Amino acid sequence: MSGISKKLFEEWRELARKELKGKSLDNHFWNTPEEIKVMPLYTEEDLSALSEQKESLPGLEPFLRGPRATMYTNKPWTIRQYAGFSTAEESNEFYKKCLENGQTGLSVAFDLATHRGYDSDHPRVLGDVGKAGVAIDTVEDMKILFNEIPLDKMSVSMTMNGAVLPVLAGYIVAAEEQGVAQQNLSGTIQNDILKEFMVRNTYIYPPGQSMRIVSDIIAYTSKNMPLYNSISISGYHMQEAGATLTQELAYTLADGIEYVRAALSAGLEIDEFAPRLSFFFCTGMNFFMEVAKLRAARFIWAKLMKQFNPKDSRSLSLRTHCQTSGVSLTSQDPHNNIIRTAYEALAAVLGGTQSLHTNAFDEALALPSKLSSRIARNTQLILSEETGVTNVIDPLAGSYYVESLTKQVIDKTLSLIEEVEEMGGMTKAVSEGFTKMRIEESAAKKQARVDKGEEVIVGVNKYVNSNLNDKIELLEVDNEKVIKEQIKKLSKIKKERNNQKVAVSIDQLRKGANGKGNLLELSIEAIRARATVGEVSAAIEDIFSRHKAVSKSITGVYGAAFSEDKMYSETQKKVNEFANREGRQPRILVAKLGQDGHDRGAKIIATAFADIGFDVDVGPLFATPEETSKQAIENDVHVVGISSQAAGHKTLVPELIKSLKKNGGEKVIVVVGGIVPPGDIDDLKNSGVSAIFGPGTPIIDSANQVIDILLDKN
């Protein structure tokens, strides 16, 4: 120990022990969900073995301290707010306002119909059009979306994975018709399909065929669009789905390696595409570990990429976008979310992100309103322009704690990557559902910690303020109106276009899917001819088929955490009372309706309710109300529990109830959980919903209420 003598350290320990009144210091170690043991004090000794970290400089291999030599001292991070809702017209209006007010990059959120490759007039998307993002059916919509936004100057990020071909093609053709050539386009397409199968659920085709699309896009853009990021390898959604920070990092980097392999085997040279790979991480509330995570990410990526022998050092450098964590935000006392988001933003910046999205305080209620998105944007402007954080590069370097945490994150992450590699790589691990299960297990543990109050969330499980009455105005989208407008536009285009030409290009696309041609190139042809997003997707689906997910559920994780909890065992008692009375366990169908792919809540309810004693049927993703009602009746469930996140509830839940009634299920109880804005509660109740459980409801409470309703009724 160079700085502090043993004697001095012992003196501190003694003093600490006294202050703790005899309790061991060991009680003050913090075991994080990553299974990293954080100590109460770090000293210089903790740095002694970290020569590689100590000798690192920004812009230079291994990029621990940042991908650029000057970082924010030259140019602050890009303020890139993810947004999109309703029609292209409305979203365009919104984008232009944001840019006027200090936003520096665009990031498009598409609606779930578009994500899943359906046009707005498709019967399976009735509740989804324009609701959770902007509805795009044709290149004409794309042109409206970017109207008066110069695409040669504005970098545009698009979160699109499933329907990536027609959407990216639409962007390229829209630019072309705006007079901007492909090679001048800058921005990012997410194009990260592996994490869709794991956590985000807007896939369309099976994994193998989807990987072909990814390679085709990398190949096309690396040849024709030198400023464009061909993929954004995303861990964000993993953390939001429940992954620990090391799981997020490990599975993301392992995904990255998988894409590199795919591109190499498609015949590309490493330096042709690797510099244009970009990343996307989540920044949650574990402040220092988030900083450490970004530093570790760059370090590990440089290490991993070495195996491909790149000549260009940019191939080793990890550039990333970050978004603050939505799942850390609450519907209770929502103004607290402004504070949470600000801390998270600071962590992302101290970690050295290249661009950032900050969430709005109404995150757990609806899409951002005008007010909430203004505050979210200003959070970054204030951080960037008022606090001085941009003046020093990697300011936490050398911190005993942050450096040793960085090292621990690196080690943990590497061992998780190794586990996946041993299974045969990420495509395999994903296809077998291995990583998904791991993440769901972490989510269940987290839920148990929060429900037990071990992890504090102010306003939710501590300092609860139940009689708040803050009026918050929320954004509302009238999907019926959006559908009407989209259908009008669709039929106009279908009338005016050259249908012969469309048919030929669609046929070429099918041939290409069956054989070799570059699918992005072929999609651009089809989109130019005014084929719709749905038509292009369907043509490829004809050849590739639509992926059907196999989902496996975990059991026991939630229940194990409650083995000695009184409330828990009382709930179990009631469940057993019901079971004795009825001759079987209470049976609940936990269902998702429409294209809403948020399955974290549904999965966690399923596993926890089963632990508590319910027989739980897990409905498939993307069901129609009729399909769900059929399953409910055939399985003779007592309750259908709809988990609704993407705002389809007002359309789809009443449809479900109607269908249940029609088929003799009028006695089936319907409850709804998830994002239900306060203004919708009465409507749902009037349509026949028995109970509604918002974000943050402890599962025991909802289970209790459900069993009470059942006991009462019978």
Could you give the residue numbers annotated as active site?
Answer: 82, 236-237, 592, 596, 598
Query: Which of ligand B12, another protein, none does 620 bind, CB closer than 5 to 8 A by kind?
Result: another protein
Region of 44-52, 137-145, 383-391, 667-675 interacting with ligand B12 (CB under 6 A): 667-675
| Residue 570 found at the interface with another protein (CB under 8 A) | no
Q: How many CB atoms lie within 10 A of CB 318?
A: 26
Interaction between residue 712 and another protein (CB under 8 A): no
Beta bridge partners of 302: none
Torsion angle of the four alpha carbons 409, 414, 420, 423, in this order, in degrees rounded to the nearest 10 = -150
Q: Which is nearer to another protein, 541 or 611 (CB)?
A: 611
Tokens of 457: 């969330």
What radius of gyration do the chain's Cα atoms show?
A: 26
38, 106, 144, 199: which one binds ligand B12 (CB under 6 A)? 199
Taking the least distance from each CB to ligand B12, the nearer of 315 and 330 is: 330
Cis-peptide, bond into residue 62, ω within 30° of zero: yes
Tokens 């244009």 sit on residue: 276
Single-letter amino acid, residue 126:
L
Out of 547, 598, 638, 650, which residue is the one contacting ligand B12 (CB under 6 A)? 598
Size of residue set near ligand B12 by CB under 6 A: 48
Beta bridge partners of 127: none
Q: Which of 94, 146, 361, 693 binds ligand B12 (CB under 6 A)?
A: 693
- Residue-wise burial string across 465-484, b where 16 or more C-beta atoms lie within 10 A, e elsewhere: eeeeeeebeebbbebeebbe
- Which x/- pattern over 338-357 shows residues binding ligand B12 (rule: CB under 6 A)? --------------------
From the CB of 124, what's the least distance to another protein, in Å?
11
Q: Which stretch binds ligand B12 (CB under 6 A): 137-145, 457-465, 564-572, 672-680?
A: 672-680
Candidates 259, 249, 248, 204; CA nearest to 426 is 259
Q: Is 433 in the site for ligand B12 (CB under 6 A)?
A: no
| b/e map 276-290, b = 16+ CB within 10 Å | bbbbbbbbbbbebbb
Which option in ligand B12, another protein, none does residue 699 bind, with CB closer than 5 to 8 A by kind?
A: ligand B12
- The one of another protein, ligand B12, none whose footprint includes residue 159, by CB under 5 to 8 A per kind, is ligand B12
Among 551, 687, 690, 705, binds another protein (CB under 8 A): 551
Task: By CB under 6 A, name the one of 211, 274, 671, 707 that touches ligand B12.
Answer: 671
**Residue 629, CA distances (Å) to 297, 633, 662 in order:** 46, 6, 10
Instruction: For residue 337, give both structure tokens.
Output: 């979310």
Indicate whether 255 belongs to the interface with ligand B12 (CB under 6 A).
no
- The Cα 632–Cα 624 span in angstroms is 12
Residue placing its CB nearer to ligand B12 in the complex, 277 or 647: 647
Stretch that binds another protein, among 7-15, 167-175, 454-462, 580-588 (CB under 8 A): 580-588
Q: Is 506 in the site for ligand B12 (CB under 6 A)?
A: no
Q: Which is nearer to ligand B12, 82 or 288 (CB)?
A: 82
Q: Does 564 bind another protein (CB under 8 A)?
A: no
CB of 313 to ligand B12, least distance (A): 32
Asked whether position 555 contacts another protein by CB under 8 A, the answer is: yes
Angle, CA of 487, 491 and 492, to the nearest 5° = 115
Residue of 550, 569, 551 lying closest to 559 (CA atoms): 569
Judged by CB under 6 A, the stretch of 2-10, 33-41, 268-276, 639-647 that binds ligand B12 is 639-647
What residue number has its CB nearest to ligand B12? 673
Cβ 349 to ligand B12 shortest distance, Å: 21
Q: Distance of CA 105 to CAs 13, 78, 157, 205, 390, Å?
A: 50, 6, 8, 30, 18
Asked if 32 is part of the footprint of another protein (rule: CB under 8 A), the reply reads: no
DSSP structure string for 17-33: HHHTTT--GGGG-EE-T
Place of tokens 């037990």: 452
Sign of CA dihedral 533, 535, 539, 542: positive
Dihedral angle, C-alpha 152, 156, 161, 163, nearest 10 °: -60
Q: For residue 588, which phi and psi values (nearest 5 degrees)? A: -125, 135
For the bound state, the minimum distance from the C-beta of residue 478 to ligand B12, rounded and expressed in Å, comes to 13
Contact (CB, 8 A) for 475 and 369: yes
Judged by beta carbon, residue 132 or residue 524, the one nearer ligand B12 is 132
Q: Looking at 253, 536, 590, 710, which residue binds ligand B12 (CB under 6 A)? A: 590
Report the C-alpha gap between 479 and 682 in whole angstroms: 19
Residues 6 or more apart from 576 whose CB is under 8 A from it? 613
Residues that bind ligand B12 (CB under 6 A): 109-110, 112, 132-133, 159, 199-202, 237, 240-241, 326-327, 329, 363-364, 366-367, 447, 590, 596-602, 604-605, 641, 643, 645-647, 671, 673-675, 693-697, 699, 702, 706
Residues that bind another protein (CB under 8 A): 548, 550-553, 555, 572, 575-576, 579, 582-585, 606-607, 609-620, 627, 630-631, 633-636, 663-665
